A and B are shown apart, each in its own frame.
Chain A
Amino acid sequence: MSHQPRVVADGVSKWFGSLVAVSDVSFDVGPGVTALLGPNGAGKSTMFRMLCGLAKPSKGTVRVLGKDPRADRSVARSIGLVPQQESVFERLSGREFVTLNAKLHGLRHPARAADHALGVVGLDPADPRPLPTYSKGMRQRVKVAQAIVHDPQVLVLDEPLSGLDPRQRVDMVELFTRLGAEGRCVIISSHVLAEVERIGSRVLVISRGRLAAAGDFRELRALMDDRPLRVRVRTDRPRELAGALLVRGAVVGARLDGEDVLELDTADARALAHAIAPVARERDAHLYEVRPLDADLEGVFRYVVER
């Protein structure tokens, strides 16, 4: 597959008063699946709004298929968006909602296109119930159906797996992968690392409004695996436990926090996990709590950004 950039952000910034939501972000995304990864509040949704023309960059330019999505309304025909918000049209059934979208895109056979799109996401087009009665997962799939009903070249999916059960997630990931493999530009945002691992090989990491990293997910994964991990341990014999773990080489640093809390730094989380229980038993120490700190996405991004 030739790499033909389809979505390009060039020095894009967006601020609201004194709040900078996105700062000087540049990337180009071609056919295939690209994951926009970042913690909540990182600026992903703001970036997506600008990619779709819903918001105007304060600085820089966005081009979708070479056109400004804010100024050129015809680009809308090539974009399918799954917005993050859960609200739906209360009076419409899933079929009516998707058919409406097909009509507004000017499809010749909107009802047929809607039935097809609903079938693709595994929903029954004959279901007459209004959207508010759907489960969260079903509503999410209807949103995906309305985004693909006009067969767009660019798909922008803001947290599309939210609310889906594991089986539905697998099906949806397969769908996105297939759409990408067929030559579409599929951009998916997520704040769940494990999700992104399944979705896309290419990632854009956004943190605090800035592009922190871009490239292959495996490279990011390697970075994450190499990073030191901090673990909080509550025990009745913190000094003895810390000493024994240091001697074993399972941790590279230890800090006592109060009477019974240890914060341990390890370069090998797996080795620490294997060592801590036997060592505690040897030292006759009770473990009341073992909890990784910094294991959330914020921590990963902090590491990637500060590295």
Chain B
Amino acid sequence: MSTADATPAGAAAPSVWTTLPALYRLLVRTQISLARLLGIGALGALVIALGALVSQGDDPTGAAGDVATFALGLVVPLATLWLGTSALGDLVEDRLLVYLWLKPVPRWQLPAAAVAATATLAIPLTAVPIGVSALIAGAGEIALEAFLAAILACLAYAGVFVAAGIWFRRAAWWGLAFVLLWEGAAGLLADGFARFTVVGWAGAILDSAPGSPSEVSAGSAGAGYVVLVAIAVAGWLAAVYRYKRGELD
């Protein structure tokens, strides 16, 4: 057997423009399942329904801010947790990572593709409904900030949960505890704790909208953009480190 165009040993590494999209498409496809789409879609629908509900109230902007804060603190992390921990975690559990590891592909690419694939699915299913919810609530002036805050939160959580998926077994359960206790309870309720949470910095971006609608804010909106991107990058780097150093079954 001889494959005509097989790359000889010692040749240049395959192009990133070929391998990165191939890994990205693979991970998007492996993450899409009816259960996930319905589950996360239901969370998005809930946010839109809450927006419709608060539109009837006296202070739709304030109420829409509350809905957005709730969505940033619970809906976005839960959806991203479900997708992110499985992006590489399922490959580890199913012992499929070997097919991707034993390739002449730089190790940074697979975790990068996993973060991108997670965000690709999480953003339309959560960030878009958050923006739509604000519009339906009659608080169009906060819709853009809510949407941007949700996108950045999706990215940050994607980095954190992709890393958790490759570092820990049963990462979804650890992640759930993190979302409920750290991001939810402590992040939303404890004074001064917001700066240590994703929801706190996403809230900072939301809070830059007219009327400061966020219930939680860790600082300025500008810092929020920087910190959330930094969290996404840190998660990605942690995943790369583990992928490089770990042993495979």
| 9-residue interface stretch from A111-119, A216-224, A230-238 | A111-119
How near does chain A come to B239, taking the closest CB pair, in angstroms?
A: 17
Cross-chain contact A113 with B248 (CB below 8 angstroms) = no
Q: Is A148 an interface residue (CB 8 A)?
A: yes
How near does chain A come to B79, taking the closest CB pair, in angstroms?
A: 20
Given A91-B29, A108-B5, CB of A74 within 8 Å of CB of B103: no
Q: Is A153 an interface residue (CB 8 A)?
A: yes
In the bound complex, what is the Cα–Cα distance between A296 and B104 (angstroms)?
A: 40
| 9-residue interface stretch from B10-18, B39-47, B146-154, B218-226 | B10-18
B15: which A residues are within 8 A, CB to CB? 106
In the bound complex, what is the Cα–Cα distance between A54 and B95 (angstroms)?
A: 12
B6: which A residues are within 8 A, CB to CB? 105, 107, 113, 149-152
Cross-chain contact A106 with B9 (CB below 8 angstroms) = no
Q: How large is the interface on B (under 10, 10 to 19, 20 to 34, 35 or more residues)?
A: 35 or more
B95: which A residues are within 8 A, CB to CB? 83, 85, 87
Closest chain A residue to B248 by CB distance? A54
Cross-chain contact B3 with A116 (CB below 8 angstroms) = yes
User: In residues 1-58 of chain B, which contact A (Cβ within 8 Å)?
Assistant: 1-15, 18-19, 22-23, 26, 29-30, 32
Closest chain B residue to A87 by CB distance? B94
Cross-chain contact A104 with B98 (CB below 8 angstroms) = no
Q: Is A165 an interface residue (CB 8 A)?
A: no
Cross-chain contact B103 with A76 (CB below 8 angstroms) = yes
In the bound complex, what is the Cα–Cα distance between A120 and B5 (angstroms)?
A: 16
How near does chain B come to A144, taking the closest CB pair, in angstroms?
A: 10
Q: Is A90 an interface residue (CB 8 A)?
A: yes
Q: Is A214 an interface residue (CB 8 A)?
A: no
Residue of B1, B18, B32 with most chain A CB atoms under a 10 A cut-off: B1
Q: Which of B5, B22, B102 touches A53 (beta carbons < 8 Å)?
A: B102
Q: Is B105 an interface residue (CB 8 A)?
A: yes
Cross-chain contact A74 with B13 (CB below 8 angstroms) = yes
Closest chain A residue to B1 by CB distance? A120
Cross-chain contact B9 with A78 (CB below 8 angstroms) = yes
Cross-chain contact A100 with B9 (CB below 8 angstroms) = no
Q: Which of B19, B32, B96 touches A103 (beta carbons < 8 Å)?
A: B19
In the bound complex, what is the Cα–Cα distance between A22 and B14 (angstroms)?
A: 34
Closest chain B residue to A70 by CB distance? B247
Q: Is A73 an interface residue (CB 8 A)?
A: yes
How near does chain B come to A173, taking the closest CB pair, in angstroms?
A: 14
Given A77-B104, A104-B105, A108-B5, CB of A91 within 8 Å of CB of B10: no
Q: Is B191 an interface residue (CB 8 A)?
A: no
Q: Which of A54, A113, A148, A149 touches B102 (beta carbons < 8 Å)?
A: A54
User: In residues 41-75 of chain A, which contact B (Cβ within 8 Å)?
Assistant: 49, 52-56, 65, 73-75
B249: which A residues are within 8 A, CB to CB? 49, 54, 85
B96: which A residues are within 8 A, CB to CB? 87-89
Cross-chain contact B1 with A103 (CB below 8 angstroms) = no
Given A74-B10, A112-B5, CB of A105 within 8 Å of CB of B26: no
B11: which A residues are within 8 A, CB to CB? 77, 106
Cross-chain contact B29 with A92 (CB below 8 angstroms) = yes
A101: which B residues are within 8 A, CB to CB? 99, 103
In the bound complex, what is the Cα–Cα distance between A74 and B8 (angstroms)?
A: 10
Q: Is A207 an interface residue (CB 8 A)?
A: no
How near does chain A come to B162, taking the closest CB pair, in angstroms?
A: 18
Q: Which of A65, A87, A90, A113 touches B5 (beta carbons < 8 Å)?
A: A113
Q: Which of B7, B98, B247 touches A77 (beta carbons < 8 Å)?
A: B7
Q: Is B100 an interface residue (CB 8 A)?
A: yes
Q: Is A175 an interface residue (CB 8 A)?
A: yes
Cross-chain contact B9 with A77 (CB below 8 angstroms) = yes
In the bound complex, what is the Cα–Cα distance between A273 and B118 (angstroms)?
A: 65
Q: Which of B19, B101, B105 touches A54 (beta carbons < 8 Å)?
A: B101
Q: Is A179 an interface residue (CB 8 A)?
A: yes
Cross-chain contact A65 with B19 (CB below 8 angstroms) = no
5 sampled A-B residue pairs with Cβ under 8 A: A74-B10, A83-B95, A89-B96, A105-B14, A106-B15
Q: Which residues of A contact B (CB under 8 A)?
A: 49, 52-56, 65, 73-79, 81, 83, 85, 87-92, 100-101, 103-109, 112-113, 116-117, 120, 146, 148-153, 175, 178-179, 182
